Structure 1
């Protein structure tokens, strides 16, 4: 039994009877669940579509986009590099637009932010649909889709306040939808392969999704973010009281700086692995197999969750293993991440934040260890750990920002955190080049495991200490009420 139940305070009880007018306007439980489901649907339709690049690249190559870059045969590496530039610029725009998107969210509210995203995403789909080799607007359209999907999912984060007992799960689901939405282009590729629809038809019809979001936004989403019902979530109870501080005080706090460094390092780990998973597997298997490395193995598709590999000669057994593992990883990452929202959300909803952060740190360490062992079953276990790790990182750190600092400056804080992480990501290319020179990712992955272990031993214990320190300082001193109730 909590102290508030053992002791009474008449003045406090009187204040509790005064209902906050903002709280009175909150939707009921059924309506709240409906809004969360709609938010998840809108996010999966738009938020991370650009990250499912590999099938779209194949579609564009088959269509002959940038085929003029090829001097002798088609397709060629020059064409692949030009297409890769489109993906690189779009994903970079996604990262660097987080802060301005957060500024719009904090200043104008979730409704305007969502409508802005729908307009940008819809314009991107339309421009991409009408683009041709003669009218090359592919890059503009793809960039608009990237920066348009972000405001939609970011504007939904405050919905966690509607169901505070499940707030961690809601935030995790919305973040994982970014991964799941990367499958949309895979589905689009299957449709164009097995139906008369073309790329132009598919993207023209897809404009209906952002159009529906734009039209329904004034009816579904509030002008201002929903206020918190109360701290009934275990993670929220232990959160430091920085919610009423200014943005600059929050961003200079030890809580934010530690959170930013932790997130930036692990996001570097995640992006490095996603971008080099096929290279890591090839180096691992060919280094540990008796067959020499096939010099005819060439990379045609340089991006996405798994790169499509082209072989000029018959496949060796090791090459078959690598190709199968890459294909498996491409499906495990989004779908496994969706399944992992259940354990991640349960942890955030029922345990303090430091527990969730400790678990994702442990998953990072175990995954790094798996990357050191050239066994198929170990790699599959590593894929599953990675799916949990990625879902836990985005869900847990977004929850940490929301519960620690509140939602008044959530957009700017999340954008600042992304900007810091973007600076860390500049080291991905040098690390990949270093691994290519060494012909192994072993030492890089070993270093990642060591740093992850150091963070595991420092950051979660520090959070636990801070939460205990805050609870001791801020817990009010309650005086027992010895008043005799004559009615008893």
Structure 2
């Protein structure tokens, strides 16, 4: 038996890996400043141009463009890779790519060894894999599933601060870029190595249990559809007690009316027993995909227009103090992981998604107020929205679709959601060209989009409640018919020993006190046909 300390250590190191390695490429601004101070690509400038010149800045910008494209592109193949080979191999590949990327970036030089873009792309791919490898840990400690998913997602957001730390260390101590990146490659090994080891212990225990019990590997076949049996084929004692109301039905033969607008606890849907193709056709997938596309677009757009807004409100007069404040507040979303976990556990997944959406609506509403002090409050709201957004996407996929397909759903949601980012340049062009540099109209449009998303989530909630009502009705019908057949067969057997045999519905004239004491009254249900 794997000790609990091993599982907890795995969760801690997985969050640490996400914090240190997963999204650090998004901290591009300090690295760009780092390279400018080293005169990288300065040879592209004309003799009469003062560095940094446009050609140099475009070349540096291309490095970030390649990296940000790769980390998005890796979402889908990374998710499939995780589902096919498991988290241990994903951790190993991430560690190898991180070391390669860090070493190459540290050694690169624009004149003699120009591998900046390539190494940045390798670090981006490694970061995507590091984040994805952290998600299955939530199934090792299911009682802390939401907390772990929130922790990994929030740590991914906060990892953009790593390169700011690099730049600060360079300014304070004079340590070179090569020294920083090569030293950090050792940190990557020290963080990813224990994760690989902890997974090996867990997998060894799973194999041992499978050999002893003749079962299946817990990670690979946790939600194997072949293990699920239709409720109509189950005996009353075999009915799934996890379904709300089922235990009441089994115990008393009575329950809520089929087709009523009832709901499972917290309006959550479990589709883990379905095949991937069926899961992709579900309204759950469509809802989370819409939530992801709209959420990612709003998150990236606000970051893009925030500087425009602050400039309109007079940030230049403060020496861009509020712009710097935004950069400090943004990574602090990592501190919200416990709060996000408690929110999901307390009010449910859909209510948490609604709260997340309202954070964004409030964010764009406050963005229209021309007051810099108000914008500091807005920075905090946006940091909360961003942390909740990525945590909700991961938690919804885990709770609804399960560990077997979670990687693929995370990959699909992030990859498709990334196409929404392609709208951002056109939106910013519209702000300057159509709206004369004022984002007010665009903020109103995104407030309306947020309200529409609220309605879409509520429609999905109604779908869950209707589906649950129908499922409960089918279960009641199945339980009553099975119970009645058993009652009839048992009564016939006892009567036949006395020479009394009958068939068909059980006559009310033969309902004796002893029969009622033994079997209870016949269950009464209402179905849609009633």
Q: TM-score range by the shorter chain?
A: 0.7 to 0.9
d(CA) in 2 for partners of 1:452, 1:391:
17
Which stretches of structure 1, 4 residues or more, deviate above 6 A after TM superposition? 234-237, 478-484
Q: Deviations along 1:72-117, whole A, 9 cap, x unmatched?
A: 1122232112111110110011001100001110100000011111
Task: Confirm or deny: 8 A CA contact 2:13 2:191 kept in the other structure.
Answer: no
Q: CA deviation at 1:238?
A: 4.3
Q: How does 1:367-446 map to 2 (within 5 A)?
A: 367-437=363-433, 438-446=436-444
Task: Confirm or deny: 8 A CA contact 2:6 2:198 kept in the other structure.
Answer: no
Q: CA deviation at 1:439?
A: 0.9
Task: Confirm or deny: 8 A CA contact 1:110 1:225 kept in the other structure.
Answer: no
Larger radius of gyration: 2
Q: 1:170 aligns with which of 139, 148, 168?
A: 148
Q: CA deviation at 1:214?
A: 4.7
Q: 2:280 aligns with which of 226, 238, 251?
A: 251
d(CA) in 2 for partners of 1:367, 1:215:
40
Whether 2:321 is the aligned partner of 1:324: answer: yes
- For 2:445, the equivalent position in structure 1 comes to 447
Whether 2:333 is the aligned partner of 1:333: answer: no
Q: CA deviation at 1:472?
A: 2.8
1:356 aligned counterpart, secondary structure? helix
Q: How does 1:151-300 map to 2 (within 5 A)?
A: 151-221=129-199, 222-223=202-203, 226=219, 238-282=267-311, 284-285=312-313
Q: RMSD of aligned C-alpha atoms?
A: 2.5
Q: CA deviation at 1:156?
A: 1.4
1:359 aligned counterpart, secondary structure? helix
Task: Confirm or deny: 8 A CA contact 2:270 2:399 kept in the other structure.
Answer: no
Q: CA deviation at 1:419?
A: 1.7
Unaligned runs of 5+ in 1: 1-24, 287-317
Q: Size of the alignment, in residue pairs?
A: 424
Task: Confirm or deny: 8 A CA contact 2:138 2:146 kept in the other structure.
Answer: yes
1:197 aligned counterpart, secondary structure? coil
Task: Confirm or deny: 8 A CA contact 2:305 2:439 kept in the other structure.
Answer: no
Q: CA deviation at 1:29?
A: 4.0
- For 1:123, the equivalent position in structure 2 comes to 100
Q: Deviations along 1:239-262, whole A, 9 cap, x unmatched?
A: 323212222221222211121112
Q: 2:23 aligns with which of 38, 48, 63?
A: 48
Q: CA deviation at 1:483?
A: 6.3
1:409 aligned counterpart, secondary structure? helix
Q: Deviations along 1:167-198, whole A, 9 cap, x unmatched?
A: 21211110111111111111111111111310
d(CA) in 1 for partners of 2:373, 2:380:
11
Q: CA deviation at 1:482?
A: 6.7
Whether 2:105 is the aligned partner of 1:77: answer: no
Q: CA deviation at 1:431?
A: 0.6
Task: Confirm or deny: 8 A CA contact 2:91 2:196 kept in the other structure.
Answer: no
2:313 aligned counterpart, secondary structure? helix
Q: How does 1:291-310 map to 2 (within 5 A)?
A: none
Task: Confirm or deny: 8 A CA contact 1:231 1:237 kept in the other structure.
Answer: no
Q: Deviations along 1:387-414, whole A, 9 cap, x unmatched?
A: 1101111101111111111111111111
2:113 aligned counterpart, secondary structure? coil
Q: CA deviation at 1:237?
A: 6.9
Task: Confirm or deny: 8 A CA contact 1:235 1:403 kept in the other structure.
Answer: no
- For 1:8, the equivalent position in structure 2 comes to none
Task: Confirm or deny: 8 A CA contact 1:91 1:146 kept in the other structure.
Answer: yes
- For 1:68, the equivalent position in structure 2 comes to 43
d(CA) in 2 for partners of 1:210, 1:245:
37
Q: CA deviation at 1:377?
A: 2.1
Q: CA deviation at 1:272?
A: 1.1
Q: Deviations along 1:11-43, whole A, 9 cap, x unmatched?
A: xxxxxxxxxxxxxx5x45443322211111111
